[in-house]
Structures are given as C-alpha cells and as structure tokens.
Amino acid sequence: MNVLNEWAFVGIFAVLAPVFPILPIVIASILRPKMPNVLKSQTYECGVETIGDTWVQFRVQYYIYGLVFLVFDVEIVFLLPWALAYHQLDLFAFGAGFLFIFLLADALIYAWRKDVLAWK
Amino acid sequence: MDCVGLCDVLAQAGWDRGLAQFLSLFVGVILVSGLPLVTVIFLIWVERKVAARIQDRLGPNRVGPFGLLQTFADLIKLLIKEDITPAAADRLLYNAAPILSFASVVLIWAVVPFTPYHIGTDLEIGALYFVAVASLGTLAVMTAGWASNNKYALLGAFRVVALLVSYEIPLVFALIVPVLLAGSMSMMDIVHAQAGMWFVFMAPLAMVLFFVSSQAETGRAPFDLIEAESELVAGFNIEYSGMKFGMFFAAEFLHVFTNGILLAVLFFGGWQGPLANEPLIAFVWLGIKGSLLYFVSLWMRNTLPRLRIDQVMRFNWFFLVPLSIVQLLVIAGLVMILKEIGLVPLNAQGHIDLASASFLSMLPMTLVLFFANVLIALPVVQWLRENGRKLRERDEQRTRRAIAANAAGAVGD
C-alpha cells in the first residue's frame, strides 16, 4: 500500500503548489493601486493601435515540429520500460531495442530528407 | 498504508489514523516545497551578483550587507505595482499562466532525493514524473502567449512550443541513460546506483546533452529567443506586470537551479560523497554539486550570445537528436557486451547490480564506456569545428562583398 502513500503525497503537493504563486498575487491585488483606463488596458504594440486580430491561423511549420515531437515522445514512452528492465535482459532484448530505435531514427531521416526539420 | 514517523507519533497520541496519515504527508509537502521557495529568494540575489561579476560590474550592493536584501526590496516593489490586464486578453487563462508556470517548477522538487533518508516521495517512475511535470511549464508559456492577445506574445509563444518541444527529445534520450544504468526510474535508486561510480564518467555525452537541453528548456541564453528582448520586446510575458510578471521570473530562476540539482542527482551522484550516511552532510554534498552546476549554467548565460531560431532548430534536429540516439545505442550495446564477458558487477540472480558495487568493480565498465563516449565525441567535435569555420567564412565573405559594393556605389555617386 506504500504506492498509495507516494501518490497521496503528489496529490497534496499538486493541490498546494499553485497556492504559493497565488498567495503573493492575491496579496498584491490588495496592496496595489487599481486605476485602469481605456488607454492603459489596450494591447501593447510599440505605441500604435493594434490592427487586426491576434488569434489567427499560424504557420504549418509549428504543426510539423509538433507532429515529429509526438512520434519521438510516444516511442520514448516505449523505450523507458526497455531501459528499466535492461538489467535482466539478454542479447535478444538489445537486438529488439536496436531495431526499435533504428525505426525511430528512420523516421528522423525521412523527415530530414523531406526537409521539414530545417527552419524556413 | 504505511504509518511511520510523524504519522506513527500522532497515531500513538490517540489521533485518528487517517487524519494522522494526512497530516504527516501534509507536513512533508510543506517542508519539501518550502525549500525551493526559500532558495529562490536567495537565488535571485546570487544570479544578479554572478551576472554582474561576469560583466565587470558590482551588482546589487545598496540594500543590506552585500545587497542581500535587494530581493525583498524588489518583492515589495512588485507587490505594490499596478497590475494591468489588457482589455483584449482572455482573463482566465491570462491569470492562470503565471501560477501554472511557478507550480510546475515547484512540483519537480517532490522527487528530488535530498539525503539517503529524505525525499519528498520516492516514486517508482520519478524520472518520468519529472519530465511530465516540467513540460507543464511549456504549457504555461503557451497559455500566457495565447491569452495575452498580443502579437509579440503569440509569436514568442509559438517559438516556445517549437523550441521546448524539440529540445525535450534529446533531454529524454539523455535521461534514458541513467535509467538504463541504474535499472530504475526512481530518483533514489538512481543515486544509490552511483555509490561506486558517478554516471557522468560512464556517460559524459548524455550529461552534456542533458545539460544543453535543460538549458534550452529554461529558455535561457544562448536559447533565450523565447524572450528575445531585442526582437519580441519580451516575448510571451510582454503584457504581464506586477506580481504576475514576478512569478514568471521566479519560476525561471528556480527552474535553472532545479536543473542543476537534477543534473547532480542523475549524473553526479546526488547526495553521494564522503560521510554521506549523515543526512546533513549528504544534503550539503547535493547542495555543493547542484550549486556548481548552477554556476556553469549562469556562466553560459552571461557569456554566450543569443542564437537565431533557425540555428537553434538546426542544432537540435541535425545534431543533438541524432547524437542522443547514437550515444544511447552505443551505451546499451556496450553494457550488454560487457555483461556477456563478465566485466559488469552482477548480483546473485545474474542481473546487473550497481547499487552494491564498489569503485574497483565498476572501474573496467566505466573505462570502456568512457572511451566509447570519447570515440563518439572526437569526430563530432571535429565536424562541429569544420562546420563552424565554413559558416564563419561564408558570413565574412558576404560582409566583405557588401562593403565592396557599398564603396563602389559611393564612387558612382
């Protein structure tokens, strides 16, 4: 049952951790002056009025990075148990791991050849 | 559930068992999270002093002895500053972002082993927990950029996602190496496995990869294009003011130090050292190692210029990621071969066992792994030098041509 104890700690921690930043912000909200006006609460843009909407479509490049990251991240999740049990594994396991990482590297080479990794 | 320590004492005194359990956990959380909070106040002063010394200045020296009270003065200033929320911002997310940013860093401390006996919670998946919690920080920055409804902020936030997400890959690949060597993801077990030999001697490349990518994760120079004061004004936190702005910065300062501590835990033996059985001495060892690594990080920050985003991305995808894959494969392969020929300390079941191994029994294994790392590093460093020289010469030529063209134009007029 020790596992439950460990995760109870994380649970309490997760609830308590936001309190530390919230506390000074709340104290500040009591102490600080509050004098907003129309000009002050405009969006900052080098002194001129903001033109157009900020929430627009963004470049597809960011999406591709996200996609490649996802491929790696998922594969890393599979690699961690392999590394964890490595002490008790034999040569076959290394072969399997090698093959797996090779497939992963293959994806990297594909993306590389497709020229999507370089920032344009 | 286990009931030891404070819980046991309370239960003995006639408290309800469940309540005693909760209280003892609660006190533990307060202690573990209080430490980074106290540290961060001191860290801001350290960082400013170190930066000043590197730049040949004095740094804060007016408030209190050696300017030690400067942080408190800044804190009071931030508390009484007006906090402007732009009218166009998404209020809920705008207010949540700085809180999430700071909380994500504090949460990492739950799995840091301070001494052989003191750790917030020794999760079996400690290493994975650290990666998961640290990536919440990325989310906070993205939230801040998006919610501000400001073009600079959003551009900064887009870059963050591209940069932080990319550098997480070499970070995690480097993290697999200590996990593989220790055979455990628990931070405590990883430290115990370094009793005979620190992992930095077995996997120096993994250490460097971890250090570089964790520097990128904090968004510090030379990877500070998230903030890029000269182009994006301040990046994601441009609209923030007062204490919310302060929270982003406190989180960043703390994150850098946390990375130093994690590096010490994963590669430099954590609390291991002479007389580490004594909790206080073990704690001091961890502090010394973490602080030295923290200092290197500050040194880097104050010495190196900022890179362009295309350079940063190229460096990651065409250099760090392939290198991290290669070094992981080489280490995994060598550990297996060494095990087959019997140069690795084994336990009774014939499994690798580093926790109870002595310095001498780990020496052959360490030497082989170290030289393998050097063999990878040599051509890589050579390639880096040649590539750097090529780029530099190209830039110089371009500049020379531009100057010549200018001179010709001036004559023509």
The C-alpha atoms of residue A62 and residue B112 are separated, in whole angstroms, by 33
Q: Which of residues 333-352 of B touch A (CB under 8 A)?
A: 333, 335-336, 340, 349, 351-352
DSSP 8-state symbol, B145: H
Its pTM surpasses 0.95:
no
Residue B1 pLDDT > 50, yes or no? Answer: no
Inter-chain residue contact B179 with A6, CB threshold 8 Å? no
- Given this model, what pLDDT does residue B231 score? 63
Domains and CATH numbers, chain A: 2-113 (1.20.58.1610)
B307 touches chain A (CB under 8 A): no
More confident residue, B52 or B161: B52
More confident residue, B306 or B371: B371
Mean pLDDT of chain B: 84
B142-146, B232-236, B356-360: least confidently modelled range: B232-236
B29 touches chain A (CB under 8 A): yes
More confident residue, B222 or B330: B330
Residue B411 pLDDT > 70, yes or no? Answer: no
- Given this model, what pLDDT does residue B366 score? 86
Residue B234 pLDDT > 70, yes or no? Answer: no
Separation in Å, CA of A69 to nearest CA in chain B: 6
DSSP B270-310: TT-STTTTSHHHHHHHHHHHHHHHHHHHHHHHHHSPPPPHH
Chain A nearest-CA residue for B333: A94
Closest to A28 (Cβ–Cβ): which among B128, B161, B243?
B243
Q: What percent of chain B has pLDDT over 90?
A: 11
Inter-chain residue contact A80 with B128, CB threshold 8 Å? yes
String of b and e for A70-90 (b: at least 16 CB within 10 Å)?
Answer: eebeeebeebbebbbebbebe
The C-alpha atoms of residue A114 and residue B216 are separated, in whole angstroms, by 26
Chain A nearest-CA residue for B354: A87
Inter-chain residue contact B313 with A66, CB threshold 8 Å? no
Closest to A32 (Cβ–Cβ): which among B82, B310, B325?
B82
- Given this model, what pLDDT does residue B69 score? 86
DSSP 8-state symbol, B116: S
Q: A32 with B83: CB under 8 angstroms?
A: yes
Contacts of B238 in chain A (CB under 8 A): 44
Contacts of B245 in chain A (CB under 8 A): none
B239 touches chain A (CB under 8 A): yes
String of b and e for B74-99 (b: at least 16 CB within 10 Å)?
Answer: bbeebbebebbbbebbbeebbbbbbb
Inter-chain residue contact B335 with A86, CB threshold 8 Å? yes
Closest to B166 (Cβ–Cβ): which among A50, A69, A120?
A69
Contacts of B250 in chain A (CB under 8 A): 21
Chosen for mutation from B3, B81, B83, B309 (greatest number of chain A CBs closer than 10 Å) is B83
* Structure ipTM: 0.87
Q: Return the closest-CA partner of residue B129 out of A117, A90, A11.
A: A11
Closest to A80 (Cβ–Cβ): which among B75, B176, B310?
B176
Compute the average pLDDT of residues B273-292: 86
Give B182-215 pLDDT, tens digit per residue: 888 888 888 888 888 888 888 899 999 999 999 8
Q: How many CB pairs under 8 A join A and B?
A: 234
Inter-chain residue contact B242 with A86, CB threshold 8 Å? no
B245 touches chain A (CB under 8 A): no
Chosen for mutation from A55, A78, A87 (greatest number of chain B CBs closer than 10 Å) is A87
Closest to B103 (Cβ–Cβ): which among A21, A33, A73?
A21
What are the residue ranges spanned by the domains of chain B? 1-80, 84-408
B24 touches chain A (CB under 8 A): no
Token pair of B145 as six digits: 């950029």
Inter-chain residue contact A65 with B165, CB threshold 8 Å? yes
Token pair of A26 as six digits: 């709340």
